[in-house]
């Protein structure tokens, strides 16, 4: 289905409450699961959401403290020659724990990753990601903003105003311009001076050679948005949340005659939607389709900087293209009191997020080292913020495919009639969550459940 038809289909399903009377189970209450739940609820469905953590978008899920960028205007895949080189270089925004090379699953993943760095494959992956980002943008602007409401949105630190990707290397800058042009994306090229005029905080970036401005990119606090959606779904009376429950093969469900059967419920569900990040490997190992990749967890790091008293803080969301760090300005929330994310003050903080590590269980020392390196990289761009307090240091896991293109698949690819899998969104899960939800509604309206 084309982007326009997918959006129209979602609009119709909402208008006609097409999934009224249907019972769906969603496994995983991260951002993909919650946005999908939100749209399915608008389509009239009854939902039961299983989450192994203690709440929605909890500290162990990938969106808890992510960079918050809605990168509708541009996309990138982690599978690239440049990233591959970085693994072996000192700049190391990507790191691999070489012990993993003795693990069969990881070697399989790594081989697929390398294959996808080849120009032809990469082009294909980028085009697929660009199509998904375009769909996400349409769903976000045409449907989500209208239904979610201004009040809810303003409580989620939603910032418009675009993003600037800034560059230090002329050759790389020109390469990126060529690359974004070939994908047909909308952007504005900025000289170093124009970039500083647009965002004064870039004045301290030494060696700045220019920027690319994406007007369509925005930022939002993923955790707060998920909390709001949780409240809306709770109040609807149509959605049941079951927390602290890992939904597992042979414990909670079995696969019989091409169908999933729940073992934990008296009644059965019309469809099972797995949005449980890397947890989907448990199901993927039961699915007989050799072409499906494993989902691997790629570690990322973030922290917040109190910029309430600084006139040097960025006002526009930024991306440091060399170090692969994203910055978004958000209103400050008071997380100290029982995780009460709704207690706002007028102050603001800068969310700093970045890096990608392939490592299984990093030790606290390894995490500490990476966060210190992230902090040092942040100061290299914004040394005037060095007096500001940094806090909320976090290490999260991005569920990733070797291509960065998420698996959003239904019956055709998995030969199970009542099951949809949506996972592996890598570094774009927040951005693509609206497309994911739209595709899930599309699958459900095509199937004869």
Ligand X SMILES: Cc1cc2nc3c(=O)[nH]c(=O)nc-3n(C[C@H](O)[C@H](O)[C@H](O)COP(=O)(O)OP(=O)(O)OC[C@H]3O[C@@H](n4cnc5c(N)ncnc54)[C@H](O)[C@@H]3O)c2cc1C
Which residues of this chain interact with ligand X, rule CB under 6 A?
Answer: 27-33, 50-53, 58, 60-63, 66-69, 71, 246-248, 275-277, 279, 300-302, 326, 353, 396, 398-399, 423, 425-431
Residue by residue, what is the 3-state secondary structure of 232-256? HHHHHCCEEEECCCCCCECCCEEEE
**Closest separation between CB of residue 361 and ligand X, Å?**
16
Residue closer to ligand X, measured from CB, 96 or 203:
96
* Share in percent of the chain as helix, strand, coil (round to 5): 40, 25, 35
Q: Which is nearer to ligand X, 132 or 428 (CB)?
A: 428
User: Cβ-count burial of 151 within 10 angstroms (0-12 exposed, 13-18 middle, 19+ buried)?
Assistant: exposed
- Smallest gap from Cβ 378 to ligand X, in A, equals 13
CB of 171 to ligand X, least distance (A): 26
What is the nearest approach in angstroms of ligand X to the Cβ of residue 36? 9
- Whose Cβ is closer to ligand X: residue 63's or residue 155's? 63
Least distance in angstroms from the C-beta of 15 to ligand X: 27
Measured from the CB atom, the residue of 300 and 410 that comes closer to ligand X is: 300
**Whose Cβ is closer to ligand X: residue 18's or residue 38's?**
38
Q: Which residue has the tokens 């990138």?
A: 76
Structure tokens given for 184: 């047909």
CA gap 92, 97 in Å, rounded: 12
CA distance 71 to 319: 11
Closer to ligand X by Cβ: residue 344 or 394 = 394
Q: Which helix (H) or strand (E) holds 176?
A: helix 170-182
Nearer to ligand X by C-beta: 46 or 400? 400
In the complex with ligand X, which residue's Cβ is closer, 192 or 317?
317
Min CB(93)–ligand X separation in Å: 12
Per DSSP (E only), the strands in 368-440 are: 390-400, 407-409, 419-423
Tokens of 196: 């500083």
Q: Residues in the chain, how many?
A: 449
Q: What is the rounded CA–CA span in Å between residue 184 and residue 134?
A: 11
Q: How open is the CA angle 344-61-81, to the nearest 5 degrees?
A: 110
- Other C-beta atoms within 10 Å of 14: how many? 19
Shortest CB 85 distance to ligand X, Å? 22
- CB of 14 within 8 A of CB of 39? yes
Residue 394 DSSP class: E
CB of 219 to ligand X, least distance (A): 7
């Amino acid at each position: 289905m084309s982007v326009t038809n997918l959006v129209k289909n979602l609009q119709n399903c909402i208008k006609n409450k097409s999934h009224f009377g249907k019972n769906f189970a969603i496994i995983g209450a991260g951002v993909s699961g919650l946005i999908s739940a939100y749209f399915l609820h608008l389509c009239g469905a009854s939902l039961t959401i299983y989450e192994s953590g203690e709440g929605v978008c909890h500290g162990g899920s990938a969106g808890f403290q992510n960079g918050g960028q809605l990168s509708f205007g541009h996309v990138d895949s982690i599978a690239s020659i440049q990233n591959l080189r970085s693994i072996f270089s000192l700049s190391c925004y990507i790191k691999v724990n070489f012990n993993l090379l003795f693990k069969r699953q990881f070697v399989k993943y790594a081989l697929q990753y390398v294959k996808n760095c080849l120009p032809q494959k990469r082009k294909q992956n980028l085009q697929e990601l660009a199509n998904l980002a375009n769909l996400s943008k349409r769903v976000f602007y045409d449907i989500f903003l209208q239904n979610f409401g201004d009040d809810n949105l303003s409580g989620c630190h939603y910032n418009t105003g675009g993003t600037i990707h800034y560059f230090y290397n002329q050759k790389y800058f020109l390469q990126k311009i060529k690359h974004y042009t070939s994908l047909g994306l909308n952007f504005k090229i900025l000289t170093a001076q124009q970039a500083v005029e647009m965002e004064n905080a870039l004045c301290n970036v030494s060696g700045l050679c220019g920027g690319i401005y994406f007007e369509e990119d925005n930022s939002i606090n993923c955790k707060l948005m998920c909390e709001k959606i949780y409240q809306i779904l709770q109040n609807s009376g149509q959605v049941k949340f079951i927390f602290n429950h890992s939904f597992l093969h042979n414990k909670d469900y079995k696969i019989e005659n091409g169908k999933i059967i729940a073992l934990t419920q008296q009644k059965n569900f019309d469809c099972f939607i797995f949005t449980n990040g890397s947890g989907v490997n448990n199901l993927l190992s039961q699915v007989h389709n050799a072409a499906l990749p494993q989902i691997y967890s790629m570690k990322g790091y973030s922290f917040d900087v109190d910029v309430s008293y600084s006139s040097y803080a960025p006002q526009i969301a930024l991306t440091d293209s060399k170090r692969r760090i994203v910055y978004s300005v958000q209103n400050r929330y008071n997380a100290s009191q029982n995780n009460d994310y709704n207690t706002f003050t007028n102050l603001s903080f800068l969310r700093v997020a970045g890096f990608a590590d392939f490592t299984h269980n990093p030790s606290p020392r390894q995490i500490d080292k990476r966060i210190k390196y992230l902090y040092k990289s942040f100061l290299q761009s914004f040394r005037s913020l060095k007096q500001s307090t940094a806090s909320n240091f976090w290490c999260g896991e991005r569920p990733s495919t070797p291509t960065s293109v998420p698996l959003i698949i239904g019956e055709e690819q998995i030969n199970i009639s009542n099951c949809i899998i949506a996972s592996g969104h890598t570094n774009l899960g927040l951005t693509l969550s609206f497309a994911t939800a739209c595709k899930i509604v599309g699958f459900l309206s095509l199937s004869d459940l």
